[in-house]
């Protein structure tokens, strides 16, 4: 992806799902570094304390929304909360995700498939349906869908299938939004040491920056429909 980018997101509002910890927390801080106002999200508002504390170092507005993305009621609560607490959503960072427990593929039953797809894919679709029309009306939007580079791990099939669907959904959406300045891209963060990634991961969680910001910092009518690898980007002096 072309790294040409805007140097401030001042006045913009981003909703970062799953930003109470891990990769989403880094993304929230990275966006604040570029002056973007941030809505922090987790299943419970009480989980947001650490991210809010870290964001208090920046001169940006912040808000919190809560909702379990495994349920439609939870998704609705996130949408309603964001509509109430921010004037608009300019950047929708669909980051929240869950990984199914490691199991022989034949033993993975439908409820596990359902929950994984509910959180990783269907919530993303509902959030996009809620916020993309406003972006279109205003002629500006950046949607980033957190994907993965996972492959050939059948024990995690619900997770990897959900991420393959995220990739496909992202390119379909980009085709629909072509020429509108609502840009949609997928992000592969790399294998990172978070609660999900575990302690043996290849990279520290902080290395998701600056790459994870590239699709949020795109210039008007910049790249869309691409999948970018966060680990390919480094801060420049
Ligand atoms: N870590 C990696 O190596 C890696 C690699 C490739 C892709 N990814 C992707 O990157 C994203 C973030 O991963 P991570 O490693 O940062 O995960 P993490 O450390 O487990 O954090 C997950 C975040 O998502 C939220 N969340 C979890 N379940 C939720 C639910 N049912 N409803 C709403 N929010 C929920 C959590 O919030 P609360 O617990 O506060 O509710 C938390 O903020 C995911 O989409 C993941 O698939 C991660």
> What is the pLDDT at residue 3?
61
Report if pTM > 0.95. Answer: yes
CB 213 within 8 A of CB 12: no
Ligand 1 pocket, 68 CB below 6 A? yes
Say which DSSP state 219 is in: P
* Nearest atom of ligand 1 to the alpha carbon of 201: 3
From the CA of 219, how far away is ligand 1's center (Å)? 28
Q: Is 159 a catalytic residue?
A: yes
In angstroms, rounded to a whole number, what is the distance separating the alpha carbons of residues 230 and 192?
A: 11
> What is the pLDDT at residue 237?
66
Give the position of tokens 């809505």. Answer: 39
Ligand 1 pocket, 54 CB below 6 A? no
Active-site pick, 58, 159, 169, 233: 159
> What is the pLDDT at residue 47?
97
Say which DSSP state 118 is in: I
Domains of the chain: 13-112+135-232 (3.40.50.720)
The token pair at 218 is: 């795109």
Q: What does the mean pLDDT of the chain come to?
A: 97
Cα–Cα distance list, 206 to 8, 21, 118, 132 (Å): 20, 12, 27, 29
**5-9, 52-56, 132-136: segment of lowest average pLDDT:** 5-9
Ligand 1 pocket, 195 CB below 6 A? yes
Dump strand ranges (E) for the chain.
13-16, 37-42, 62-66, 91-94, 141-146, 182-188, 227-229
23 exposure class (CB count in 10 Å sphere: 0-12, 13-18, 19+): buried
Residue 42 pLDDT greater than 80, yes or no: yes
When pLDDT is cut at 50, 70 and 90, the band that residue 4 belongs to is confident
When pLDDT is cut at 50, 70 and 90, the band that residue 131 belongs to is very high
Find the angle CA(38)-CA(215)-CA(78) to the nearest 5 degrees.
35
When pLDDT is cut at 50, 70 and 90, the band that residue 129 belongs to is very high
Mutate to test the pocket of ligand 1, among 69, 82, 97, 144 (most ligand atoms within 8 A of CB): 97
In angstroms, rounded to a whole number, what is the distance separating the alpha carbons of residues 167 and 151?
A: 13
Closest among 52, 31, 30 to 40, alpha carbons compared? 52
Closest among 25, 33, 23, 12 to 52, alpha carbons compared? 25
Residues sharing a CB contact under 8 Å with residue 99, sequence separation 6 or more, in sequence order: 116, 156, 159, 196
Ligand 1 pocket, 229 CB below 6 A? no
Dump pLDDT digits (tens) for 58-83: 999 999 999 999 999 999 999 999 99
In whole angstroms, what separates CA 48 from the centre of its chain?
16
Ligand 1 pocket, 208 CB below 6 A? no
In angstroms, rounded to a whole number, what is the distance separating the alpha carbons of residues 84 and 142?
A: 20
In angstroms, rounded to a whole number, what is the distance separating the alpha carbons of residues 36 and 217?
A: 10
CB 17 within 8 A of CB 93: yes
């Amino acid at each position: 992806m072309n790294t040409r980018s805007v140097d401030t997101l001042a006045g913009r509002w981003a909703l970062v799902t799953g930003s109470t910890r891990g990769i989403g927390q880094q993304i929230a801080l990275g966006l604040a570094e570029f002056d973007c106002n941030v809505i922090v999200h987790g299943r419970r508002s009480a989980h947001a304390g650490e991210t809010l504390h870290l964001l208090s170092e920046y001169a940006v507005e912040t808000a919190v929304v809560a909702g379990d993305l495994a349920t439609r009621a939870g998704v609705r609560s996130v949408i309603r909360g964001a509509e109430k607490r921010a004037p608009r959503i300019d950047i929708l960072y669909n980051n929240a995700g869950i990984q199914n427990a490691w199991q022989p593929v034949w033993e993975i039953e439908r409820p596990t498939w359902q929950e994984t797809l509910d959180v990783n894919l269907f919530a993303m679709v509902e959030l996009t349906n809620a916020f993309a029309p406003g972006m279109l009306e205003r002629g500006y939007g950046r949607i980033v869908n957190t994907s993965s580079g996972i492959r050939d791990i059948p024990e995690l099939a619900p997770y990897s299938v959900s991420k393959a669907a995220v990739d496909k959904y992202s390119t379909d959406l980009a085709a629909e939004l072509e020429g509108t300045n609502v840009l949609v891209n997928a992000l592969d963060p790399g294998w990172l040491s978070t609660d999900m990634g575990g302690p043996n991961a290849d990279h520290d969680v902080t290395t998701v920056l600056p790459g994870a910001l590239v699709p949020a910092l795109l210039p008007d009518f910049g790249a869309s429909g691409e999948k970018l690898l966060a680990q390919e980007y480094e801060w420049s002096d």
